[in-house]
């Protein structure tokens, strides 16, 4: 099992280990959304030659009797396509272009939902539709960080209902890979069924600041559009608009007291902090910061982070940025406790430091 009071902060870089090129990283999601909204159509009844045909057809079906609403959302899609490149993320774009009709936010979130659903469908956890909608070959993920994570999480834990105690996960990704993998890992380790494993994972302290496609469904709701199964079919039956409310922007998430409170509690009370594939962007660091809300947080025994793409010269600045998340009455003590693993991926970090992470 992991050390008590440990918090993991998971970013987009962690998703790259679920299948090469499947989940977008950095500006990847932004680029896919720009390409998807490259609609070269001027009228409702024209044939679409470029852009995401599923999104366009879904939009046309939804507003086939409301032409004015259709045109507003088409204009929002063009705005996203033409100006998104000037922003660090689609979330920042939506936050900037807050319109009265909420069309920009709706179209941005719809594009996110489609891209994440497709990535779930194409990743190494994608279920075999001929065998089961809620199971997959877990050995496919043997090289991902989820394998050592689940191994340490469950090691020396006899009762499956005690798995995850003292562990918090703040996942900035929209996908549900962590939950889906842990359900399968619990099923195999403890020989329990999907429903029991799902219930156990549901009680773990896993927070998605920006939301997800939705909670993983019970077996009896597997084909309910409002409860999308993992890796859903993104076809004509895919109801993207039912998933839009599940996707949150930075501003929306900050205003949600319960979620923000859980994040701050997980950051303030942890004694061990691990960043996996996290990008350390300004808006996300603001969500994690407890410097103002917790003047006397618990002392951090260590803070550990992957840093792919950051040079050795950037290590001191990143150490300072991480330690700056907390009020620091003892000078640079927490900065000295922060270890930055430059060039090391998520699986490599957990495998290299497993003795330090487990109890």
Q: Which tens digits make up the pLDDT trace of 304-325?
A: 999 887 777 878 888 888 888 8
The pTM of the full predicted model, rounded to 2 decimals, is 0.92
> What are the backbone dihedrals phi and psi of residue 340, each rounded to the nearest 5 degrees, phi first?
-105, 120
SS3 state at 8: strand
pLDDT in tens, 37-70: 998 765 555 667 788 988 998 988 888 888 899 9
**Sequence-ordered strand ranges (E) for 252-300:** 272-276
Of 8-12, 34-38, 152-156, 249-253, the poorest mean pLDDT is in 249-253
Contact 345, 308 (CB under 8 A): yes
**Sequence-ordered strand ranges (E) for 141-252:** 167-171, 205-207
What would the mean pLDDT of 250-264 be, rounded to a whole number? 78
Q: What is the DSSP letter of 305?
A: E
């Amino acid at each position: 099992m992991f050390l008590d009071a440990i918090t993991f902060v998971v970013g987009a870089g962690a998703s790259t280990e679920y299948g090469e090129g499947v989940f977008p990283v950095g500006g990847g999601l932004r680029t896919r959304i720009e390409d998807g909204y490259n609609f070269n159509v001027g009228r409702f009844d024209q044939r679409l030659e470029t852009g995401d045909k599923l999104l366009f057809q879904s939009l046309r079906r939804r507003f086939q009797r409301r032409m004015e609403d259709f045109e507003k959302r088409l204009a929002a899609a063009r705005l996203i396509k033409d100006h998104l490149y000037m922003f660090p993320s689609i979330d920042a774009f939506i936050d900037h272009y807050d319109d009265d009709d909420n069309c920009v936010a709706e179209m941005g979130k719809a594009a996110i939902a489609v891209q994440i659903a497709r990535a779930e469908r194409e990743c190494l956890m994608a279920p075999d539709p001929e065998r089961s909608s809620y199971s997959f070959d877990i050995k496919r993920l043997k090289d991902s960080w989820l394998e050592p994570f689940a191994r340490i999480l469950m090691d020396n834990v006899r009762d499956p209902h005690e798995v995850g105690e003292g562990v918090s996960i703040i996942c900035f990704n929209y996908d549900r890979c962590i939950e889906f993998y842990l359900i399968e890992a619990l099923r195999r380790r403890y020989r329990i069924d999907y429903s029991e494993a799902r219930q156990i994972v549901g009680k773990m302290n896993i927070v998605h600041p920006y939301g997800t496609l939705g909670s993983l469904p019970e077996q009896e709701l597997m084909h309910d559009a409002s409860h999308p199964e993992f890796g859903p079919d993104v076809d004509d039956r895919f109801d993207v608009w039912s998933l839009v409310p599940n996707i949150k922007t930075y501003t929306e998430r900050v205003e949600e007291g319960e979620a923000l409170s859980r994040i701050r509690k997980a950051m303030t009370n942890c004694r061990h902090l691990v960043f996996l594939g996290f990008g350390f962007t300004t808006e996300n660091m603001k969500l994690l910061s407890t410097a103002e809300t917790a003047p006397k947080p618990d002392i951090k025994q260590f803070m550990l982070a992957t840093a792919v793409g950051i040079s050795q010269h950037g290590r001191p600045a990143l150490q300072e940025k991480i330690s700056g998340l907390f009020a620091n009455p003892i000078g640079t003590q927490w900065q000295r406790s922060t270890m930055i693993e430059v060039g090391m991926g998520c699986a490599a970090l957990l495998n290299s430091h497993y003795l330090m992470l487990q109890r």
